């Protein structure tokens, strides 16, 4: 298993490097979006209007953070369950999105779309939002402020820790991980 330090925006020459199970530290600008924000982004795309941020080469983090306490840029900020975004992700990937950060397995359609678009699905560990918030240096709401925690935020991150869940070849750690563990204990 390798470790990669990558900076956004991402290009194919970067996304083809890591494989499922590798550690990836993300630095640069990323965007937050969860359920309702996804629904709205897709509606904007369907109406051929301008999105609140340029999708090309970007990374979306499925997160709805807690409010920042005084002296902090953001509160607790771990991943939400990615599966709820499965119906939206292929269209965003076709639009140029290069990586998603979340937790939990993805559908077959998302895996196929990841392969087709040379993208990555990155896993952040769930339930450790306090620890993850350490790597978020700046947070600005850029769209849908009325959604509160579900608003789209631009985050400036420094070495946000992730694990490659699905790589550009479609290798899926949610299948490979348990299989690899079980094959070792049977031996």
The Cα–Cα gap between 79 and 17 comes to 23
Q: Which of 38, 40, 98, 153 is the catalytic position? A: 38
**One character per residue 112-131, x = contact with other proteins (rule: CB under 8 A):** -----------x-xxxxxxx
Q: Does 163 bind other proteins (CB under 8 A)?
A: yes
Beta bridge mates, 102? 123
User: What ranges in 47-172 are assigned the alpha helix state H?
Assistant: 89-94, 108-116, 129-133
# residues near other proteins by CB under 8 A: 47
Residue 17 or residue 131: which is nearer to other proteins going by CB? 131
Residue 108: count of CB within 10 angstroms of its CB: 10
To other proteins, the closest distance from the beta carbon of 132 in angstroms equals: 8
101 closest CA partner among 32, 22, 157: 32
The residues, ordered by sequence, that sit 6+ positions from 12 with a Cβ below 8 Å of its Cβ are 118
By CB neighbour count within 10 A (0-12 exposed, 13-18 middle, 19+ buried), where does 50 fall? exposed
The answer to whether residue 81 forms part of the interface with other proteins (CB under 8 A) is yes
38 is catalytic: yes
Q: Is 72 in the site for other proteins (CB under 8 A)?
A: yes
Q: Which stretch binds other proteins (CB under 8 A): 2-10, 48-56, 92-100, 144-152?
A: 144-152
Q: Which residues bind other proteins (CB under 8 A)?
A: 1, 21, 36, 63-69, 72, 75-78, 80-81, 83, 103-105, 123, 125-131, 133-134, 147-150, 163, 173-174, 176-182, 184-185
Active-site annotation, residues: 38
């Amino acid at each position: 298993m390798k470790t990669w330090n990558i900076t956004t925006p991402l290009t194919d020459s970067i996304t083809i490097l890591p494989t499922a199970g590798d550690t990836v530290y993300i630095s640069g600008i990323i965007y937050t979006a969860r359920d309702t924000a996804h629904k709205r982004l897709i509606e904007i795309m369907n109406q051929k209007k301008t999105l609140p941020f340029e999708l090309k080469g970007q990374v979306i983090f499925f997160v709805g953070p807690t409010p920042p306490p005084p002296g902090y840029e953001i509160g607790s900020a771990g991943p939400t369950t990615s599966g709820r975004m499965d119906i939206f992700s292929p269209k965003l990937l076709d639009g140029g999105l290069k990586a998603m950060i979340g937790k939990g397995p993805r559908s077959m359609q998302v895996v196929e779309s990841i392969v087709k678009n040379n993208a990555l699905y990155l896993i952040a560990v769930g339930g450790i939002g306090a620890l993850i918030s350490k790597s978020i240096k700046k947070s600005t709401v850029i769209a849908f402020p009325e959604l509160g925690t579900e608003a789209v935020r631009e985050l400036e991150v420094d070495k946000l820790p992730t694990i490659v869940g699905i790589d550009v070849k479609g290798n899926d750690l949610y299948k490979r991980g348990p299989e690899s563990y079980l094959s070792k204990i049977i031996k």
